[in-house]
Amino acid sequence: MPQVPSISEVRQARRSAHWAERQARQVQARGDAGLADAWWDRARAICKANPELWNDLARTLENWTGRHDGGHGA
């Protein structure tokens, strides 16, 4: 007899499906910029659920921009 998924597993699956659909819509509408927007939305949602992650996201963005801005600093 197959095991019934837990409520948290069902919610996680629903969230994953939602984000995949949103990402596909954004890519179709705006290409790579839409894909980036979808990831931004997801990152903000994750940080909203766990405020301690904002600092980690900020450091990640600082490092990324440092690699791609020609070394001009912010």
Residue 28 structural domain: 8-68
Count of Cβ atoms closer than 10 Å to residue 4 Cβ:
8
Task: Decide which of 24 and 2 is more confident.
Answer: 24
30 has pLDDT over 80? yes
- Does some domain include residue 1? no
Over range 30-35, report the average pLDDT. 91
How many structural domains does the chain have? 1
Instruction: Tokens 């007899």: give the residue.
Output: 1
73 located within any domain: no
Q: For the chain, what is the HEC assignment?
A: CCCCCCHHHHHHHHHHHHHHHHHHHHHHHHCHHHHHHHHHHHHHHHHHHCCCHHHHHHHHHHHHHHHHCCCCCC
What's the whole-model pTM score?
A: 0.66
- How confident is the model over 22-42, as a mean pLDDT? 90
Instruction: Please indicate, yes or no, if residue 12 is contained in any of the structural domains.
Output: yes
Q: What is the pLDDT of residue 1?
A: 74
